[in-house]
Structure 1
Amino acid sequence: MDRIGGLPDGILIAILSFLDTKTAVRTSVLSKRWKLVWTSLPVLDFENVPYSRWKSRIEFIFFVRHVLARRCNSQLVKLRLSVDDIVYSSFSEECMTYAADHRVKNLIISAFTTENPVFIPTCLLSSQFLEFLELNCAIRYTITLPKSWTFTNLKVLKLKNFVFSDDNFDDGKIFSGCPKLESVILCKCAIKGRGELKELEMKCLELKKLEILYWRSPLSCYDIHRINVIAPKLSSFVFKGHVAKVCFKEDLGCLDRVCIDLRYPKWNSAEDRKRWTGECFMTMFGQFCSARFLSLSIDTVEDNKLSTLGESSHSDGRKAKKDSNIIDVPIHLMSYLLEIAPRAESLTVEFAKESFECVEVRSDGEE
């Protein structure tokens, strides 16, 4: 007896929405009751990666088109297309067009093509329904960013593997065109090394969360390129990866949490690494005087304990064990950082994830 099949359509659809679309469609063979339930799915999740067991990309494309053709005309809450194999650019554009036509709220596209680039359909560029947008170039230049778009209700924007240049960036209109934007994540992005664009303008008056992860502009452009941020309501900032200049153009009175994990390419000279890391760190950190909770990776602390303050004659320092090694965490550096951020309630130094240890220095001197 099919007890689950006796539930109302709304509950069955909600259950299937937690499954990937391939599995959800397979339920149509269970019984006549299930045959058409999947056609009302508000969430479509298409994934073509090595472990997804598609025989070929042609089979995957055929399946996606079959689902889009048979699905009912109801609003689409979420569409996710993630491919780890080369597909035609027209196929990715076709999926985005379908999403726009069905008033999608959450759109995640990971494109993979080596021929013609993927252009975001015009019908999507002014969507009033889109609230979450994630675009990932599996290969650089796979997706062509427009110079501007207008998403009146977009709250979350995540861009991965994009290279900003004069061709796709016009005075920050991709950010200012989203007046309700609350969260921006830039992952493995860069400013083109040999182009006229030098500064990335990001004006987001409602922005509350900003993450810049593994920035990839050439180190030769460190003194030239910068990211200018105007976000008076920013409450959380995360920076991980290689050095980059991030300048906040307005007071950060709402800033609550800051997390910094600076890295640098090992092939550069120690002197250059020290200069780049120290300058980048202090340029950013000096702007966080209102932050309440500060978190620094142990690599950030070690790279800056000399370059930031110069060599100290004091031997006063706190030592923490990481496996069998002893790592010096100078207390004078911690005190100096807490002086820069007088509102800070805690300053946490985090080790690598595998160590599961941390040293925390509070503003009242407690550990």
Structure 2
Amino acid sequence: MEFDRNKVGRVVKEDRLSSLPDELIHNILSSFDMKFVVQTCLLSSRWKLLWTSMPCLNFTSWQFTSLPKFAKFVNHVLSHHNHQVEVSSVKLHFSGAASHVFVRKIAKYAFSHNVQQLTITSCPKYRLKSYHASLFSSHSLKHFTLTCHHMQLCTTTKAPLDFPALTTLRLSRFVLCSDLFSNCVNLKNLTLEDFSVKDVEVFDIITPRLSSLRLAHGSSCSAVINLIAPQLEKLTVICCSFKYLNAPPGLSSFDYWGDFPLKFCKDRFYSLNKVSVCFNCFGLPYKEKDAIKTINLLQELHSAKYLTLNVDIVKCISSFPDLLLHHASPFSNLISLTIDYRLNRDEYGEEISTEARNFLLENSPSAALIMKSP
């Protein structure tokens, strides 16, 4: 096979990357942090100023020897950015003792340019003073993620977050003590992770349009979590400890994974569709008090149509048949009952006791019984 050397030479010398439109180059560079982007743009005269018109700004401090040097670089990029270009996303990841002034400057820049998505991740070496909720305010932001390891979100001023356009909010590693969300009137998806509630007996989550709520690794043994969210459809609770959880009655989907049965205010639910419950810390032998709490929780979930329970729940209530005989089956709408054995591989295929089967299925005789294998 013969090669046309002249044709090959022309292909090799051709700079195909530089011929790409700016929009496509921006999309490629948006996967990298801004230090790499600036360094890359210096390699070509065609790309020299491309970094000043990036619609997605991704700042990370890990390639800098100190936080002041990182802050200086961030200030340089922001001050030289083309202010005619709309910035759609800003991500800020840093470690060290950043001041409120530094964080406020980033947030202010993002908000002044009508940024749609803002992500701030802070990893200070030591526990610092709290961030004030008033630090963050925007009428254009739609998606906000704030993760601050070893820090607190201070709400003692009773000033909630001011995000009237926000639809998705994720907060991680915070202490909460007052209303944060009532001004987020369009919030639809809320995630709270690694959080705690202090200094209040009742913590209100006031969100008129919220449809999905995820609470993970939250602690507040003495507080009632009160969900004032009339449009809430999906609730996920993972490893949380509350005195009570007061959820809206119209809930259609509920997922729970925890060490102990969750306590709800009585007779809350009338339209549950899909329910999944997993307890992962039952001690052996099973205790009667745990069985009572489990039965009480299952009674609160009586309207479920599709119910999934891990096998430990079934084994716990099966260990106390006399308790089950004194309670009528709460489930009259079941379409299917799934017993999940994925955490108990050695017990797959074991028969369910007659008492447990009757308690779960007696009032839904046509429901399908499914054994989910490891």
TM over 0.5: yes
Aligned partner of 1:9 in structure 2 is 22
Percentage identity across paired residues of the two chains: 23
Q: Which amino acid aligns with 1:23?
A: F
The superposition leaves residues 319-357 of structure 1 with CA deviations (integer Å, 9 ceiling, x where unpaired) of: xxx9xxx97843966x999845835645463745x98x9
Whole-angstrom CA distance in 1 between matches of 2:29 and 2:332: 49
Partner SS state of residue 34, structure 1 = coil
The runs of 5 or more residues in structure 1 that have no matched partner are 264-276, 313-321
Which of 260, 274, 289 is the equivalent residue of 1:293? Answer: 274
Whole-angstrom CA distance in 2 between matches of 1:204 and 1:328: 33
Question: 1:349 aligned to 2:334?
Answer: no
2:187–2:209: 8 Å Cα contact kept in structure 1?
A: yes
The normalised TM-score by structure 1 is 0.73
Distance verdict in 2 for CA 1:114–1:364, change over 3 Å: closer
Which of 255, 258, 262 is the equivalent residue of 2:258? Answer: 262
Whole-angstrom CA distance in 2 between matches of 1:311 and 1:155: 36
Aligned partner of 1:315 in structure 2 is none
Q: How far apart are residue 59 of structure 1 and its match? A: 2.4
Q: Which amino acid aligns with 1:81?
A: L
The superposition leaves residues 181-200 of structure 1 with CA deviations (integer Å, 9 ceiling, x where unpaired) of: 101111111122xx3x2111
Which of 181, 186, 189 is the equivalent residue of 2:195? Answer: 189
1:97-246 to 2 correspondences below 5 Å: 97-111=108-122, 112=124, 117-119=130-132, 124-125=136-137, 127-141=138-152, 143-145=153-155, 147-165=159-177, 169=178, 172=179, 174-192=180-198, 195=199, 197-217=200-220, 222=221, 224-246=222-244
Aligned partner of 1:94 in structure 2 is 105
Which of 20, 23, 35 is the equivalent residue of 1:22? Answer: 35
Partner SS state of residue 232, structure 1 = coil
Aligned partner of 2:11 in structure 1 is none
Whole-angstrom CA distance in 2 between matches of 1:330 and 1:292: 24
The superposition leaves residues 215-272 of structure 1 with CA deviations (integer Å, 9 ceiling, x where unpaired) of: 133xxxx2x311101223222211111321453353225x1x3221113xxxxxxxxx
RMSD of the alignment, in Å? 3.7
Distance verdict in 2 for CA 1:120–1:39, change over 3 Å: farther
1:305–1:330: 8 Å Cα contact kept in structure 2?
A: no
1:180–1:206: 8 Å Cα contact kept in structure 2?
A: yes
1:259–1:294: 8 Å Cα contact kept in structure 2?
A: yes
Whole-angstrom CA distance in 2 between matches of 1:337 and 1:201: 34
The superposition leaves residues 124-181 of structure 1 with CA deviations (integer Å, 9 ceiling, x where unpaired) of: 52x221101222222223x43462243221001112222223xxx2xx3x32211111
Whole-angstrom CA distance in 1 between matches of 2:223 and 2:181: 18
Partner SS state of residue 166, structure 2 = coil
The runs of 5 or more residues in structure 2 that have no matched partner are 1-13, 295-309, 319-323, 350-359, 362-366
Whole-angstrom CA distance in 1 between matches of 2:113 and 2:105: 12
1:209–1:234: 8 Å Cα contact kept in structure 2?
A: yes
Q: How far apart are residue 98 of structure 1 and its match? A: 1.2
Which of 45, 50, 67 is the equivalent residue of 1:32? Answer: 45
Whole-angstrom CA distance in 2 between matches of 1:114 and 1:332: 44
Which of 48, 60, 69 is the equivalent residue of 2:70? Answer: 60
Whole-angstrom CA distance in 2 between matches of 1:245 and 1:364: 34
The superposition leaves residues 90-113 of structure 1 with CA deviations (integer Å, 9 ceiling, x where unpaired) of: 211211111121111111223337
Distance verdict in 2 for CA 1:341–1:301, change over 3 Å: farther
Whole-angstrom CA distance in 2 between matches of 1:181 and 1:159: 13
Q: Which amino acid aligns with 2:340?
A: V
Say how many residue pairs are matched.
Answer: 316
Q: Which amino acid aligns with 1:94?
A: K
Q: Which amino acid aligns with 1:233?
A: Q
2:244–2:263: 8 Å Cα contact kept in structure 1?
A: no
Whole-angstrom CA distance in 2 between matches of 1:282 and 1:186: 19
Q: Which amino acid aligns with 1:158?
A: R
